[in-house]
Amino acid sequence: MSEPAPAGTETGATPSFLTAGDDARQIALRVTPGRSTPTHPGVLWCGGFLSDMRGTKAEALAEWGARTDRCVTRFDYSGHGESSGAFEQGTISRWAEDAFAVFDRATQGPQIVVGSSMGGWIALLLARALAARGETGRLAALVLIAPAPDFTDELMWKAMPDEVRAAIMAEGRWVRPSQYGSGQVITRALIEDGRRNLVLGAPFAVGCPVRILQGVADPDVPWQHALRLVTCLAEDDVVLSLIKDGDHRLSRPEDLARILAAVEEVG
């Protein structure tokens, strides 16, 4: 097993790996070396459903870290990118476990967790787990980009026709057409596990500043979904920025500038 490079060590073009879970899946990660201190927290990137750490937003964060001497850690969930495992075996619990392993073993000091789409849900689960462990001090802030907490139930299951739900329950899987490439395999395990990780049912606190960027023209995560999250974070310092012409990816130069500005504001 290869271990991740510690903070302050350039990983270069080749990723490092750490082992997560009882099945010893190999999680690929890259670390941009730099500071990770109370006044200059490190940054942990949590990507979206079917995305990877070589995407536009993740690369922009890594480049920002190199320019500003800030440690930026990014990784691929199992079944994504350069990590091992089959995507169809993935669940929210499994991918959250991957993120926890990276946070615990590949980052040092306080972290700003930047979560995109599904990564926003993972970031919230990470915040909840840290609170349960009494380690909220390690969470400097959350920056959430088109966050999709509870998406398996709220944005998938509830929107599916009855025949699709029946197919998932009977066959265990359904291939959902996607504008971002090949079809998305939605499994019964993903849906059922998602229900065990719902976060929007009642108010909760993450104990740190939260910045949310949401496109009003997002076809995948409606801006009202982000507003619902804001109402659940009633005790925290939360700012929601609506981008009128923004889509789900928020990867245009002006969107990337907004994301980096949000990170700089909270850290």
Residues assigned a catalytic role: 117, 218, 248
The three-state secondary structure class of 5 is: coil
Which residues, other chains included, contact 144 with Cβ-Cβ below 8 Å and sequence gap of 6+? 114, 115, 116, 120, 123, 210, 211, 212, 213, 226, 229
Contact status, residue 185 vs residue 156, Cβ threshold 8 Å: no
How many Å apart are CA 226 and CA 222, to the nearest integer?
Answer: 7
CA distances from 205 to 92, 168, 199 (A): 20, 34, 11
Q: In what order do the strands lie in the sheet with 139-145?
A: 16-20, 25-32, 72-75, 42-46, 111-116, 139-145, 210-215, 238-243
Identify the DSSP state of 70.
B
How many Å apart are CA 11 and CA 140, to the nearest integer?
Answer: 24
- Counted residue by residue, the chain has a size of 267
Residue 149's nearest CA partner among 99, 201, 209 is: 201
Identify the DSSP state of 15.
P
How many Å apart are CA 151 and CA 57, to the nearest integer?
Answer: 21
